[in-house]
């Protein structure tokens, strides 16, 4: 086994056979952490993002946080019910992409698919960046290494996912459940503690009255809070990963997730207001997230609860990225199978995961983390537009599905309401965040749609030109072998033998780089060259490759139906690093001959003893 | 012509034929700037480095600068005379490496060669860094981009050198002559101007008396000043680049260079003392080099002379690196021809320059600039050890040469004196700078010597195992062709035809990644597969490559004398970026089969219309 293979085995484990595929399905208790960590972990930043928007104008406006959170929780309920229906209608999975494509046509499907792909990438970037912020709240000296910590986290998650879905389930269950228990414990304790007195900062803040002037700001805060909904569709995308009965298990998990999410979100927003938490900028010295501040107010700075919650928060956020790792590769494999993405993304690797999709997601999200310097607040405006766009498409898709199937009017109504509300929310998010980065999503979405079309066009064209017709026959060709002889040595003997075994038309080529040696070559060739004629090629510019190419072009002109096989003897040293001491002529020739038809370049290797 | 070729042509120019080689020889007026810019440009930093060492203890010691410079100029005279002899004795060039090797044996030659290689790399790093300092003296706002400016300078010099030696000569003459004229003008003007009054800093400095306590410091300052001698051997290394009569032209150029260098060095050291210049650290705000300060004191800050001299200094320093670019590749080609470095370094490119050596030098010196943050003062302690070591070896080599030839006793005496003095200087430099970085040179030197031996051993071994003996004969082999058929399309027809033209033993292999399609493949194969048997391979782990390798291993066991040719049909798209939409099975197979004997992997390309 090669070094690379051994390294791969060590990292991702032994191959798993196709027939064991059903073993990789998840029971509910593991499916929840794998598919719900994204949605649940948004507790760590959703309230904070609402507050950051409000605080840009005045900390006096922070009292709107709770009401905005209530509105968002209503939205969570509506969307969850809508997806509950989707899971039952499409137990084979596929989520928004499949639903939109099937019911609204291929274009809607592509838009939904592209939006979700973007949002999975953003999920990884936002969750990991936010996880790093939890670490910094605990260890301020790590602030300078934010981006580096994020990159390492992405790398670790990548490896965990390349190992396969079930191991991921076990691996991710403990932090997720710990986080849920700690947050709920904090909320309950906080309810019974006395609130912090109003700090002077807030008491002296100018605005407290609701005013129409602030409508846009409130909407923008609401839009930022909507990031809490990202990931809610994950379960419906991945029903195939659930144990039988798929639909029941998946929809129950969805209900549990939505309930937990709403409780934790409203609870922490309520407490943030009760304890008058003021959000900080990430560049602030002694930066603390809203959750970290809350934890300190409730349990005191010295309590074990503070580090425990920060660690659990960081872990669930890193693992939240895992939701995207479960879904991005699966979704891109669906899209690839429809011919809109490279086929390689549809290939299941030897650990039963879509490894190409996993690697692609890692690369793209790492680029985002580096570009946005790991600042969650800079990434948030890009987030959620795509998710809500796909929500809208998926729910209108469900309206058509219900109409087609003749379902109960209540089903149609719920989906219609869900679709209309999410359509409005999409518009709100897009408009209020446009200048902060949402425009970028429009650009990315258009670019992806164009790429989809180009790829589809190429595959369609491939199908057309490559498909065999009745008239196609195997042509008759003959082969001319050109054997390169830089100098005569033992390695060449084998190449001579091989050339002769291929065809009767073998010619040896020698390029004179050192004119003094040409006579020696001729003499030696007469002894060992069998009956093969030796062609001496002059090289006025000391190039090895150019005279060979000229000769080949001439030979091709003489007989256009002959396949020319260039045979390059190559010594294979015992240690790979010895190869820097050998020329690699075959590679140069392959590049140089890249555009010539009917030419094949072949290495005949000679293993050094 | 491919994009890469066209880009290369644009950068480095059209190829030059071997028979035009003599046109690339340089007349004296161009040889001086090309080979002497290194030595001459050291004026920009040599005095300053002496002063920086003295100032570490007390600015009161700066008055030793002039005396130390006198001693160094005596050394310049001695070394120049010694190399004058070398040029006449070895008009074919090769300098210290050839002289040491021929007269003192291969080990001394290798030590001299390795020392010089190290010093050429350091020449580039030191000269470029120092050139950047001249720019910063003029434009302090550039201080933050020191390293970046250095990297760009190296890149530009690389391109100039890849274009070939003669163009370099023209390209480099103007700045070098401008620098010489400006420095001499400054020295003469300075002699007639009244000196600056002693600044309080120096007046209040504690030490003025010569004391034995300072011996080590004085020696260290002397050692730093010896960097003025680096590059003095360049002409003797490259006599082959001079016009005929080679020896006369080269030795005259050497004499002119040594005279100019001594005058400028003594002159500027004298003025630095007269005007009480105090050297600055590179991190100082409003950093100015000693030469820049001197220029301002003599001509005033508003004069055109200040920017003119700074620009000329920066240019000659960047071009000084060019001395190394003329010599490093030439020296490494000598060493490569002796089998101690990879043969590729001995290959003359299509512009009649050793392009691999040029690129190698650029990479290594850029690494040094980045590692030492472009700070000349940090690089200087590494510098000069190697040069003086090679001086010593070369001059003792000349002693033996004279003895062998029965030359005049004066010749023997000069070389012997030169060798002894430079041996002492080598020791002084090594000891006084040991802790400041000279130890690193010892490590690098040992490492290079070890690499030399390993490379030589590999080539010796290659020669042994590859040389044909009387008993060697061409073996008789037969070929089995294995044709991969992922699915049947037009591209495969050509591969079928090609396989049949090679051998009668063709087998088609199909790996079942999608068991549902196997029957279709069989059916189609019966129509188009000629008489070739189709082998269906199961793939329980969904790997395309593993079952093929297993099959090959089995076939090799059955008949160990058969060469197995794996034929992979490959569609070549019209645009290169379409290839991300196609699998590259042949590459995977090549890597996977890398260690298997008697296996050849061949791509048969099918050009998409």
Mean pLDDT of B533-545: 81
A193 close to A274: Cβ distance less than 8 angstroms = no
pLDDT tens readout for residues B2-30: 555 665 655 556 665 555 444 567 788 88
Last residue of some domain: B407, B430, B459?
B459
pLDDT at A12 over 80: no
pLDDT, average across residues B226-250:
84
Q: Mean pLDDT of all residues in chain A?
A: 84
Comparing A198-212, A332-346, B499-513, the range with the smallest average pLDDT is A198-212
- Rounded Cα gap, residues A556 and A64, in angstroms: 79
CB-nearest partner of B528 from A474, A496, A501: A474
Cβ distance B468 to A501 less than 8 Å, yes or no, reads no
Mean pLDDT of the region B29-56: 87
**3-class SS at A525?**
helix
Cβ-based contacts of A583 with chain B (< 8 Å)? 343-344
Peptide bond before residue B258 is cis, with ω within 30 degrees of 0 = no
Taking CA–CA distances from A590, the nearest residue in chain B reads B603
Secondary element (H or E) of residue B537: strand B534-538
Residue A484 sits in the same domain as residue A588: yes
> How far from the centroid of its chain's Cα atoms is residue A437's Cα?
20
Q: Is residue B286 part of a domain?
A: yes
Q: What is the distance in angstroms between the Cα of A123 and the nearest Cα belonging to chain B?
A: 26
Mean pLDDT of the region B120-134: 92
Is there a contact between B541 and A350 if contact means CB atoms under 8 Å apart?
Answer: yes
B241 with B338, same domain?
A: yes
Report the chain A residue with the minimal C-alpha distance to residue B529.
A474
Is residue B476 less than 8 Å (CB to CB) from chain A?
A: yes
The arithmetic mean of pLDDT across residues A35-44, rounded, is 87
Contact (CB, 8 A) for B399 and B411: no
Give the residue among A477, A535, A480 at the shortest CA–CA distance from A506. Answer: A480
Q: Shortest Cα distance from A475 to chain B (angstroms)?
A: 6
Kindly state whether residues B487 and B418 are assigned to the same domain. Answer: no
Q: Does B3 touch chain A (CB under 8 A)?
A: no
d(CA B35, CA B328): 12
3-state DSSP call for residue B568?
Answer: strand
pLDDT of residue A378 exceeding 60: yes
Q: What whole-number distance in Å separates Cα of residue A113 and Cα of residue A106? A: 10
Q: Which residues of B touch A4 (CB under 8 A)?
A: 591
> How distant is the Cα of B432 from the closest Cα of chain A, in angstroms?
38
Q: Name the least confident of A13-17, A93-97, A456-460, B182-186.
A: A13-17
B292 by Cβ neighbours in 10 Å (0-12 / 13-18 / 19+) ranks as buried
B490–A474 C-beta distance less than 8 A: no
Residue with tokens 């609204």: A104
Residue A162's domain comprises 24-459
User: How confident is the model at residue A519, as a pLDDT?
Assistant: 86
Q: B450 at the A interface (CB within 8 A)?
A: no
Most B CBs within 10 Å: which of A600, A601, A602, A609, as the mutation test of the B interface?
Answer: A600
Q: Min CA distance, A62 vs chain B (Å)?
A: 42
Q: What is the DSSP string of A48-112?
A: HHHHHHHHHH-GGGGGGHHHHHHHHHHHHHHHHHHHHHHHHH-TT--HHHHHHHHHH-HHHHHHH
Region B560-570: what's the mean pLDDT? 87
Average pLDDT taken over every residue of chain B = 84
In a domain, B323, yes or no: yes
Decide: helix, strand or coil at residue A196: coil
In a domain, A258, yes or no: yes
Do A202 and A264 sit in the same domain of this protein? yes
Instruction: Quote the CA–CA distance of A436 and A427 in Å, as a whole number.
Output: 15
Question: pLDDT tens digits for A130-165?
Answer: 999 989 888 888 888 889 999 999 998 888 787 765
Going by pLDDT thresholds of 50, 70 and 90, the confidence category of residue A352 is low
In this prediction, residues B99-125 reach a mean pLDDT of 91
Residue A14: pLDDT band with limits 50, 70, 90: low
pLDDT digits (tens, 9 = 90+) for B70-91: 999 999 999 999 888 888 888 8
Burial class (CB in 10 A: 0-12, 13-18, 19+), A132: buried
- Of all residues in chain A, the one with the smallest CA distance to B455 is A581
Q: Are residues A90 and A207 in the same domain?
A: yes
Q: How confident is the model at residue B243 (pLDDT cuts 50, 70, 90)?
A: confident
Q: Give contacts of B466 with chain A, Cβ < 8 Å.
A: 489-491, 571, 608
Would you call the peptide bond into B354 cis, given omega within 30 degrees of 0 as the criterion? no
Output the pLDDT for position A6. 60
Query: Looking at residue A504, which CATH number applies to its domain?
Result: 3.40.50
Is some CB atom of chain A closer than 8 A to the CB atom of B208? no
Quick check: is B12 in a domain?
no
The answer to whether position A1 is within a domain reads: no
**CATH no. for residue A367?**
1.20.1740.10
Supply the pLDDT for residue A7: 58
Residue B17: its chain A contacts at CB < 8 A? 540-541
For A372-408, where are the alpha helices, taking DSSP H only?
Answer: 376-379, 385-405
Torsion of CA B321, B323, B326, B331, to 10 degrees: -100
In a 3-state reduction of DSSP, which class is residue A375? Answer: coil
> What is the pLDDT averaged over residues B579-585?
73
B18/A541 CB distance under 8 A: yes
| Sequence-separated (6 or more) residues with CB below 8 Å from residue A590 | A601
Other C-beta atoms closer than 10 Å to the C-beta of B217 total 18
> Is the pLDDT assigned to residue A513 strictly greater than 80?
no
B293 and B173 share one domain: yes
Considering the domain architecture, whether residues A403 and A531 belong to the same structural domain is answered as: no
Give the closest-approach CA distance of B382 to chain A in angstroms. Answer: 28
Please tell me whether the interface predicted TM-score (ipTM) of this complex is above 0.90: no
Which of A4, A467, A501 comes nearest B477 by C-beta? A501
Count how many pairs of residues, chain A against chain B, have C-beta atoms within 8 Å. Answer: 168
Residues in contact with B16: Cβ distance below 8 Å, sequence separation at least 6, in sequence order: A541, B24, B164, B350, B351, B352
Interchain contact A378–B (C-beta under 8 A): no
Mutate which of B468, B479, B485, B523 to disrupt the A interface (most A C-beta within 10 Å)? B468
Mutate to test the interface with B, among A345, A473, A501 (most CBs of B within 10 A): A501
User: B365: burial class by Cβ within 10 Å (0-12, 13-18, 19+)?
Assistant: buried
- Domain boundary residue, one of B432, B459, B486: B459
Report which of A572, A569, A585, A573 is spatially closest to residue A497, judged by C-alpha positions: A569
pLDDT of B511-522, one tens digit each? 887 778 888 888
pLDDT tens across B429-466, in order?
Answer: 998 888 888 899 999 999 999 999 999 998 888 888 88
Q: Model confidence at A1, in pLDDT bands (50, 70, 90)?
A: very low
d(CA A306, CA A138): 8
Does any CB of chain B come closer than 8 Å to the CB of residue A607? yes
Range of lowest pLDDT (B184-188, B350-354, B532-536): B350-354
Strand order across the beta sheet in which A562-572 lies: A534-538, A506-512, A478-484, A562-572, A599-607
User: CB-based contact (8 Å) between A467 and chain B?
Assistant: yes
pLDDT per residue as tens digits for the range A262-294: 999 999 999 998 998 999 888 788 888 999 999
Dihedral sign, Cα of residue B539, residue B541, residue B543, residue B548:
negative
Question: What residues of chain A lie within 8 A of the CB of B578, using their CB?
Answer: 458
Cα A45 → chain centroid: 22
The number of folded domains in chain A is: 2
Q: Which of A344, A493, A583 sits opposite B475 (nearest CB)?
A: A493
Closest Cα in chain A, distance from residue B498 (Å): 6
Q: Does B609 touch chain A (CB under 8 A)?
A: yes
Q: Are residues A444 and A503 in the same domain?
A: no
> Do the domain assignments include residue B433?
yes
- Residues B375, B507, single domain; the answer is no
Question: Which structure tokens are listed for A326?
Answer: 């479960």
Q: Does A1 touch chain B (CB under 8 A)?
A: no
On the question of pLDDT at B161 being above 60, the answer is yes
Interface contact A602-B602, CB threshold 8 A:
yes
Task: Determine contact: B594 vs chain A, CB below 8 A.
Answer: yes
**Contacting residues of A for B344, CB less than 8 Å apart:** 583
Looking at A429, A459, A489, the residue that finishes a domain is: A459
Cβ-defined contact of B468 to A528 (cutoff 8 Å): yes
Neighbours of B534 (CB within 10 A): 16
pLDDT average, residue stretch B347-373: 80
The predicted pLDDT at position A16 comes to 57
How far is CA B564 from each of CA A348, B557, B604, rounded to the nearest angstrom?
A: 29, 11, 15
A406 in contact with B at a CB cutoff of 8 Å?
no
Is any Cβ of chain B less than 8 angstroms from the Cβ of A3? no
Which among A490, A528, A565 is the nearest to B466, CB-wise? Answer: A490
Q: Taking a C-beta distance cutoff of 8 angstroms, is the pair B341, B352 a contact?
A: no
Pairwise CB contact (< 8 Å): B474 & A496: yes
Which of A344, A479, A602 faces B600 most closely, judged by CB atoms?
Answer: A602
Query: A81 lies in a domain?
Result: yes
Report residue B352's pLDDT band, with 50, 70 and 90 as the boundaries. Answer: low
CB B252 within 8 A of CB B28: yes
For residue A528, the Cα-to-chain-centroid distance in whole angstroms is 57
Q: For residue A283, what are its two tokens?
A: 């560049």
Identify the pLDDT of residue B208.
Answer: 58
Chain B, 4 to 23: residues with Cβ < 8 Å from chain A are: 4, 15-19
Out of B459, B496, B563, name the one closest to residue A474 (CB).
Answer: B496
Residues A179 and A306 in one domain: yes
* Whole-number percent of chain B with pLDDT over 90: 26
Residue B549 touches chain A, beta carbons under 8 Å = no
The predicted structure's pLDDT at residue B184? 94
Together in a domain, B512 and B434: no
Q: Are residues B454 and B485 in the same domain?
A: no
Asked whether residue A10 is assigned to any structural domain, the reply reads: no
Report CA-CA distances (Å) from A520 to A489, A510, B484. 12, 12, 42
Give mean pLDDT, residues B564-589: 79
How distant, in Å, are the alpha carbons of A70, A252, A261, A534, B180 from that of A248? 28, 6, 20, 77, 89
């Amino acid at each position: 086994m090669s070094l690379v293979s051994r390294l791969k085995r060590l990292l991702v484990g032994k191959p798993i056979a196709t027939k064991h595929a059903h073993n990789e399905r998840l029971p509910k208790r593991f499916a929840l952490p794998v598919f719900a960590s994204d949605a649940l972990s948004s507790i760590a930043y959703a309230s904070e993002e609402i507050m950051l928007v409000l605080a840009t104008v005045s900390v006096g406006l922070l009292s709107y946080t709770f009401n905005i959170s209530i509105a968002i929780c209503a939205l969570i309920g509506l969307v969850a019910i809508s997806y509950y229906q989707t899971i039952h209608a499409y137990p084979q999975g596929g989520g928004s992409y499949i639903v939109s494509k099937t019911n609204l046509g291929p274009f809607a499907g592509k838009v939904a698919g592209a939006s979700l792909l973007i949002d999975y990438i953003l999920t990884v970037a936002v969750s990991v960046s936010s996880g790093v912020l939890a670490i910094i709240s605990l260890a301020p000296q790590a602030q300078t290494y934010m981006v580096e910590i994020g990159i390492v986290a992405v790398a670790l998650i990548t490896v965990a996912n390349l190992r396969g879905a079930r191991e991921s389930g076990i691996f991710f269950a403990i932090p997720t459940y710990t986080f849920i228990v700690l947050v709920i414990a904090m909320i309950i304790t906080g309810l019974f503690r006395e609130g912090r007195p109003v700090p002077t900062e807030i008491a002296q803040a100018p605005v407290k009255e609701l005013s129409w002037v602030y409508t846009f700001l409130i909407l923008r805060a609401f839009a930022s809070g909507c990031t809490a909904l990202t990931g809610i569709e994950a379960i419906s995308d991945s029903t195939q990963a659930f144990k039988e009965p798929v639909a029941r298990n998946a929809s129950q998990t969805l209900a549990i997730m939505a309930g937990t999410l709403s409780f934790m979100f409203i609870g922490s927003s309520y407490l943030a207001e009760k304890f008058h938490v003021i959000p900080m900028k990430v560049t602030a010295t002694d930066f603390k997230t809203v959750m970290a501040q809350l934890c300190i107010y409730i349990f005191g700075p010295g309590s074990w609860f503070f580090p425990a919650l920060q660690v659990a928060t960081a872990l669930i956020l890193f693992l939240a990225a895992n939701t995207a790792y479960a879904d991005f590769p699966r979704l891109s494999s669906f899209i690839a199978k429809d011919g809109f993405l490279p086929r390689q993304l549809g290939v299941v690797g030897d650990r039963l995961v879509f490894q190409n999709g996993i690697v692609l997601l890692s690369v793209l999200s790492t680029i985002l983390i580096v570009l946005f310097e790991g600042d969650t607040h800079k990434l948030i405006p890009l987030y959620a537009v795509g998710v809500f766009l796909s929500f809208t498409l998926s729910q209108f898709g469900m309206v058509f599905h219900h109409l087609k199937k003749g379902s109960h009017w209540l089903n149609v109504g719920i989906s219609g309401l869900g679709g209309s509300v999410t359509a409005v929310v999409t518009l709100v998010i897009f408009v209020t965040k446009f200048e902060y980065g949402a425009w970028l999503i429009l650009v990315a979405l258009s670019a992806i749609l164009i790429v989809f079309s180009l790829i589809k066009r190429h595959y369609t064209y491939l199908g057309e030109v490559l498909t065999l017709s009745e008239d196609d026959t195997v042509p008759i060709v003959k082969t001319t072998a050109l054997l390169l002889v830089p100098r005569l040595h033992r390695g060449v003997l084998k190449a001579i033998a091989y050339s002769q075994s291929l065809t009767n038309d073998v010619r040896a080529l020698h390029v004179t780089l050192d004119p003094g040696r040409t006579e020696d070559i001729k003499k030696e060739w007469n002894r060992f060259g069998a009956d093969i004629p030796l062609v001496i090629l002059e090289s006025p510019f000391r190039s090895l490759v150019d005279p060979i190419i000229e000769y080949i072009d001439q030979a091709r002109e003489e007989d256009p139906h002959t396949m020319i096989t260039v045979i390059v003897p190559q010594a294979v040293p015992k240690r790979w690093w010895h190869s820097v001491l050998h020329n690699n002529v075959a590679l140069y020739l392959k590049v140089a001959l890249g555009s010539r038809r009917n030419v094949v370049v072949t290495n005949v290797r000679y293993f050094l003893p």
